[in-house]
Structure 1
Amino acid sequence: MRQQAMGFLKGVGAGMVAGAAIAMMNDKMMKNNRNYRRNAHKTMRAMEQLFSNIQGMF
């Protein structure tokens, strides 16, 4: 049981490190590229609308 918990925690830690690295790279890209920012904003609006529609079904 303890080995499974340690493996899980290592996986969570690795995911957090990878997420932080991607977030840092994404931040630099968004500052330098207007078209990238525009596409990212459109994608976020589409995802918000999708989640809103899913919530409306329930």
Structure 2
Amino acid sequence: MRDQEQIRCCACARLLFCAEPDALSGILTIKCPRCRAMNILRPRALSPERDQRPQVKGPGQ
């Protein structure tokens, strides 16, 4: 079995679930059953072509 990372609550550190690294492909929202905090999880890195922000020209440029 591959190494799995533990996903814990941001407020109370309760273990929410285990997952393979880079398993998330979209945004995931989980409510902690212990402290009721909302945990919003996002994928770690975007693909390189999406990491760069488009250059926006302001007025007078």
After TM superposition, the score normalised by the length of structure 1 is 0.22
More helix by share: 1
More strand by share: 2
Select the structure with the greater relative contact order (CA < 8 A; seq sep ≥ 6): 2
After TM superposition, the score normalised by the length of structure 2 is 0.21
